[in-house]
Amino acid sequence: MKIELSQVSRWYGNVVAVNDVTMTIGPGVTGLLGPNGAGKSTLLHMMAGFLAPSGGTVTLDGTKVWKNHRIYRNIGLVPEREGVYGFLTGWQFVLSAARLHGLPDPAEAARKALATVEMEEPKDRRVETYSKGMRQRVKVAAALVHDPPVLLLDEPFNGMDPRQRLQLMDLIRSMGAGGKTILFSSHILEEVERVAQHIEVLVAGRHAASGNFREIRRLMTDRPHLFMIRSSDDRKLAAALIRDSSAGGITLRPDGLEVQAIEFRRFARLLPRVAKEEGVHLHQISPADEDLESVFSYLITRST
Amino acid sequence: MNTVVAGITYRALLGRRRIILLLVLPLGLIALAVLLRLFGETGQRSAMLLMDNFAINTMLPLLGLIAGTGVIAPEIDDGTIIHLLSKPISRPVIIRTKFVVAASLLAVFGAVPTYVSAWLLVSNEDGIASGFALGALLAGIAYAAVFLLLGVLTRHAVAIGIIYALVWETLVGGFMPGARKFSIQQWAKSIADQISDSAFLKADVTLGFAVPALIIVTVAAVFWAGHRLRAFSLTGDE
């Protein structure tokens, strides 16, 4: 099944949360990547029928999603908020989901879903006694209980320990390989890279990039990089580096050189060679803008 | 009606501290009736004072508030409502189920104690006990619908509900004769008056107005709540 977004926008008063996004989510695992506050949850809520787009349309295989409870036969939703009745046991919670779906054998479906997320052992404990990771898994079990072709997960790895995280990643990957349409949001590039075949990048409400993780990686690698360099003779090194077109701008600072590299790969080869030729010793090379925020802000300036 | 939705809603309301809130007022009512009886203050006048001032004017709207908002507002607040809404069940069905749960709680915790306390004072004299019990039942059902709607419309349902119950129903209804026509409590009294032959009971609103008004308010509130829940939005933290 396919989720199609066509020129979707959402604003709250004067604040634009999602701005003119067009994308198609097909079978396999898609990662929705973006920094906090990028509008990922807003977009996901619109796909799940929990928010009306202010403009544009969201459809599931051609049917409108908003105000249509029938879509939930085909969608499993794992919201970011806890959203689990603490007074129910894990078993009761998942069983209630199966019964709300009107499944022919709700007990068997619930048993299977709990087994899928490895929650059989603590299933008879009340949800309020669970750790965050266990609650997350029981939510995934409830979302999977009717074996939906589409699964939407909002920041599913938050609060999980590394082992649980790996287990859920495996589960998502295998379901995606099995032909389900899976979309999950995350603000962590490594998470998305490990699970998703396809990545959609959302920055400040805009659809900033789209592709497989190699393409996204390349976009992020090829962007201008900023380096801090300390050497035995900063001024001499600066003069030599600026002759090459891969260095865009160099600032001489009291604590070293700040170099803007336009072509990352070429600059990476240039620097040691020039240093050797000029007889300058390199003491320290450090990226000054390697955090994800600056990567995202590059992508957004590129897409405008 | 959906039995799974009803089951979860009953458990949320009865399995927690909220049941104490539901019990305090009816137990207080019965305790007052017992006290009046112990001091020999039985008779229609005492019964009428207790029914009017406590059962109908105080207990019923507050129970309506606790049960009516309680069946949905906490779930909307903590996000658990998503569990019900992300299923292939029409939203008006969810609302109707929650309404039935709230109305049944008002019958058990409102109408039954009303009957018991009136009976303690005047037995079955002049149909006072059954009159007030029926009035409390029908008004309770209307309160359940109105407060359920309030729980869907606003996150400040309890605060607004208290203002409505105390300011409108008690003060405005009590001091402005014109406004009494639009008070659920007065409609309850009209029904009690119809069934009871007591000379002490005098309703301000005719039965011909009270009964259609109760039906219209109840149906409209449940319908509107269902309509609003169809457009339920998750705004998220962003």
Q: Supply the DSSP symbol for B89.
A: S
Chain B interface includes A127 (CB < 8 A): no
Which chain A residues touch B93 with a CB distance below 8 Å?
none
In sequence order, what are the residues at sequence separation of 6 or more whose Cβ sits closer than 8 angstroms to the Cβ of residue A73? A101, A146, A148, B88
What pLDDT was estimated at residue A110?
A: 97
The structural domains of chain A, with segments of one domain joined by +, span: 3-220, 224-303
CB B4 to CB A142 under 8 A? no
- Measured between alpha carbons, how far is A117 from A121 in angstroms, rounded to an integer? 11
Annotate chain A with three-state secondary structure: CCEEEEEEEEEECCEEEEEEEEEEECCEEEEEECCCCCCHHHHHHHHCCCCCCCEEEEEECCEECCCCHHHHHCEEEECCCCCCCCCCEHHHHHHHHHHHCCCCCHHHHHHHHHHHCCCCHHHHCEHHHCCHHHHHHHHHHHHHCCCCCEEEECCCCCCCCHHHHHHHHHHHHHHHHCCCEEEEEECCHHHHHHHCCEEEEEECCEEEEEECHHHHHHHHHHCCEEEEEEECCHHHHHHHHHCCCCEEEEEEECCEEEEEECCHHHHHHHHHHHHHHHCCCEEEEEECCCCHHHHHHHHHHHHC
Which chain A residues touch B238 with a CB distance below 8 Å?
17, 36-42
pLDDT higher than threshold 90 for residue B42: no
The structural domains of chain B, with segments of one domain joined by +, span: 3-230
Give the model confidence (pLDDT) of B165-208 as tens digits.
778 776 766 677 777 788 898 899 999 989 888 878 888 888 99
pTM: 0.85
The CATH code that applies to domain A3-220 is 3.40.50.300
Mean pLDDT confidence for B88-97: 96
Residues linked to residue A229 through DSSP beta bridges, in sequence order: A257, A285
CB B82 to CB A42 under 8 A? no
How many Å lie between the alpha carbon of B118 and the closest alpha carbon of chain A?
A: 37
How many Å lie between the alpha carbon of A44 and the closest alpha carbon of chain B?
A: 10
Which chain A residues touch B80 with a CB distance below 8 Å?
82-85
Chain B interface includes A116 (CB < 8 A): no
Which chain B residues touch A93 with a CB distance below 8 Å?
83
What pLDDT was estimated at residue A302?
A: 63
CB A97 to CB B233 under 8 A? no
Strand, coil or helix: what is A32? strand
Count CB pairs under 8 A between chains A and B. Answer: 94
What pLDDT was estimated at residue B237?
A: 44
Which chain B residues touch A84 with a CB distance below 8 Å?
80, 83
Low-confidence ranges of chain A (pLDDT < 70): 220-222, 289-304
Give the model confidence (pLDDT) of B1-28 as tens digits.
899 999 999 999 998 677 898 999 999 9
Q: Is B40 exposed, middle or buried (0-12, 13-18, 19+ CB in 10 A)?
A: exposed
Instruction: Name the phi and psi angles at A125, rounded to 5.
Output: -90, 150
pLDDT higher than threshold 90 for residue B53: no
The third-level CATH classification (topology) of the domain covering A224-303 is Alpha-Beta Plaits (3.30.70)
C-alpha dist (Å) from residue B83 to A9, A183, B86, B89: 26, 19, 6, 11
pLDDT higher than threshold 80 for residue B235: no
